[in-house]
Amino acid sequence: ISIPPLAPWWISVIGVGFAIIVAKQLYGGLGFNLFNPAMVGYVLLLISFPVTMTNWQVPLELSQYQLGAGDIFSAIFTGVTTTGLTVNELRLSVDGITMATPLDTLRTDLSLGLTTYESFTKPIYNGFVSVGWVWVNLAFLFGGLWLVAQRIIRWHIPVAVMATLAVCATLGYLVDPDTHASAFFHLLSGATMFGAFFIATDPVTAATSNKGKLIFGAIIGLLVYVIRQYGGYPDALAFAVILANMTVPVIDMYSKPSSYGHQKKRHPKQGRSND
């Protein structure tokens, strides 16, 4: 899900292999890994292959090419479609610009001195939200709410992630709207909803107590905003989760509920004296 659709097949193999072998098995296998394996594999790919991992397929309404299933498989395994188009050509929008994510586009425009309003006038945005990505995030939101309703996950981490990100984004937007996007944009762009409901809630690498889950989620939300706004990688979810994983032992140590009573083991001699 986190890899661009037309990325070469070996990209997935490297990411999955590193996640399973290094991030999980070397720590002792299932239930013993400190870091989220999926995010470790993703970060490896993002650092090692930044161009491939940050150029995405153009939304249908902006694309000048229509692809079939055969074209997609051919592009993934050979680098060209059945009609001879390369992956780089397929990632060009109708105006000839290589497609990047909305977060990448906003980050680049701000570094060039443009305001958020000027950036949002580009075709990749529909007003102040991103074309396509907003629906992806809404789909993950509804799916995550279903998981909460079914009690498969708890609500604490997703709510803490979204609330902290929304508060930070709102404060930044109120201070300087020309260089800070709104909370609505941050919540519905990138991997926000996917990370809040499906990544951060990993039971092995997340905090255990309810209080700890809130702290853990708040750390992720804060890191996502800080890295998006000031870091080098616009969609900071993977880095935020891995950094928050490092704090879990400390969070668990100070957030575990206190035990106020226990049953004392009966001495064998006491039992014989009553006979």
Of residues 7 and 165, more confidently modeled: 165
Instruction: Determine the Cα–Cα distance for residues 201 and 27; give it in Å rounded to an integer.
Output: 20
For the stretch 165-171, contacts whose Cβ atoms lie closer than 8 Å and that sit 24 or more positions apart, written own/partner, are 165/192, 165/221, 165/222, 165/224, 165/225, 168/221, 168/222, 168/225, 168/226, 169/225
* pTM attached to this predicted model: 0.80
Instruction: Determine the Cα–Cα distance for residues 182 and 188; give it in Å rounded to an integer.
Output: 10
Write out pLDDT tens, residues 162-191. Answer: 999 999 999 998 988 888 888 888 888 888
Instruction: Determine the Cα–Cα distance for residues 15 and 238; give it in Å rounded to an integer.
Output: 13
Q: Cβ(67)–Cβ(24) under 8 Å? A: no
Q: How many CB atoms lie within 10 A of CB 47?
A: 11
Instruction: Determine the Cα–Cα distance for residues 34 and 270; give it in Å rounded to an integer.
Output: 46
Write out pLDDT tens, residues 204-257. Answer: 989 989 999 999 999 999 999 999 888 877 778 899 999 999 999 999 888 877
For the stretch 226-229, contacts whose Cβ atoms lie closer than 8 Å and that sit 24 or more positions apart, written own/partner, are 226/168, 228/103, 228/107, 228/186, 228/190, 229/172, 229/180
As a whole number, the mean pLDDT across the chain is: 81
- The contacts of residue 149 (CB under 8 Å, 6+ apart) are none
